[in-house]
Amino acid sequence: MALLNGIVTLIAMFTFGGIVWWAFSRGRVEANREASMLPFALPDESPRVEKEGSHE
C-alpha cells in the first residue's frame, strides 16, 4: 500500500509541476497580462439619472 501511495504522490507532484510550468510559460505571457486586467475592465459607472416622479 505504501508503494501505491508513493506512486500517486509522484503523479500528483508531476501534475502540479506541469500546471505551474504551463501557467508561467512564455507562450502565456499575453494571456496572463490580459487576465490580470479583467478586474479593471468593468464599464465606467455613471451617475444615475432619476426619472421625474420616482422617489427611491
Encode the chain (56 residues) as per-residue pLDDT tens digits.
999 999 999 999 999 999 999 999 999 999 999 999 988 887 776 666 666 665 55
Three-state secondary structure of 1-56: CHHHHHHHHHHHHHHHHHHHHHHCCHHHHHHHHHHHCHHHCCCCCCCCCCCCCCCC
* Cell (9 digits) for 17: 509541476
- Global pTM? 0.58
Please report the pLDDT score of residue 50 as a whole number: 66
What is the reported pLDDT for 9?
A: 98
Q: Where are the domains of the chain?
A: 2-37
Look at residues 52, 30, 33, 53 and name the one whose alpha carbon lies nearest to residue 41: 33
